[in-house]
Structure 1
Amino acid sequence: MLFNMKLLINFSLNKKTMMGILVVLVLTFFPFFGVGNPIGATDHQEWRSPCGGESRSLPLPAELQGLLPVNPDPNGDHNLPGILGELVIKMKETKDKVQELKQNYTDVRVRTGDCTDYLEASYIRLAGFPSAPAFKGAMRMISEMNLTDIFRNDYHKLSVVMIFIEQVRWDEETYENGQFLTTLNGIFQNLKSLLCVMSNALRTQDAEVVDFANRSEAMNQRYRTMSRADNHDRDYIIMRESYKLFGNLILKYAALKDFLSSSP
């Protein structure tokens, strides 16, 4: 682990401060090469066609059928509460899987107490990973941003999360003998289902995704070429931030659902 590295430090800083600084430095500035080949920038990008195939307008997955009419009305706002309700359910499922994996990482890969404490520090983040801003309330949110922009913004955020999880899955299978691959696959598929529902939600607004996340821009190359030990820290932080993000999104979409359901 990062925290097993021995350094000679001549400054009178306390242990926790130095360990926190060390994590930030390694995750931010020092790539580790020669560990393996990361996912190629031109490989299939599933967040561009989450409903399957190459078209964004293909049918929903079987478990999500029935949310939209056979021939959806582009202005069919009346159907949005049902779509948002399904988003909330799927987000809760994903949040639970993320929490389960985060706990597994704590038990198996970052077991040292001090290590876990440092990785929970709010200032230790991964560049480019989506943040979870405080929820402002449905009415204020809609007054500041229309539904199309809300869906597009969150579609992009979840696409970036998917890009990070994609790399975690690759490393899990390559270096960890697939120990937690089943849970990671579940998270990945849930993200894909969420994007499919969001793309169909956009259709009710007579809109679509116009700016897809780019794999090479969303996730810095240094996060793909670190040592196995540093991957463990990276993965823990990804799950920590994903848990926060989904908590925020659940509040957001539950409030939107209630607001739209009560609107005339």
Structure 2
Amino acid sequence: MTWTVNASIMWPDLSLREQVTAVAAAGFSRAEFWWPFAGPVPERTEVDTFVAALADAGVQLTGLNFFAGDMAAGERGVLSHPGRSEEFRANVAAVAEIARATGCRAFNALHGNRLPGVPHEEQDALAVENLRWAADAVAPLGGVVLLEPLSGAPDHPLQTAADALAVIEAVDRDNMKLLADFYHLAVNGEDVAAVVEAHAADFGHIQIADARGRHEPGTGELPLLHWVSRARDLGYAGDVALEYAPLGEDPFAWLARGGRG
């Protein structure tokens, strides 16, 4: 199994450089991050520091979120919001720069919450347009744009795999894929086993956390490793991301020795 660890949720109180160091100290050589900068276009020195930290720690960047707005305030993406396309597209260019410097090839685009007073059709059309822009921008780098259903965000329109897959179909780009976050899907009431059976070979990425609580496997009731194993059997060949908030003293104790990648 090839694991990658989401450093943003695993060590939220550390600085970006310290998060990278923590990944290596925990025995991992692969990591993904939510957008780790305050605004959509970071200063050059910020990017250089991030890239250097990864290189110094021997950590491969496997995934990066596009800028998603003020997440702490409840925003979950800006690409569907009228008036923010320029902001999103400037971020796409910044992400592509990081991709060239690190070899990262997977990029998660959060759709954006529903806005009061804005017709859903207008937001959906804009989301498709901006997702095409992002997919076309990272395609020459071998990049894939990921789209995921979210839980805990009632104004977010993508709640199920079918919701996300409908948008992906409308985008109509070969490098636009479903991010199967088993935690989000399960919390939203999705039949995750059925999603795996129907779509595993076409998953762009898998993320795991147990429910309830969004902690490490074994702290809840989800058969996460069974779902992962079945997805492998059905053709999924990518990384599996550990995207959970640690609960126990050792959040990786459940992993078999030598299983970190």
Whose radius of gyration is greater, 1 or 2?
1
**TM (normalized to structure 2)?**
0.22
Name whichever structure is richer in strand by fraction. 2
Which of 1 and 2 has higher RCO (CA within 8 Å, sep 6+)?
Answer: 1
Name whichever structure is richer in helix by fraction. 1
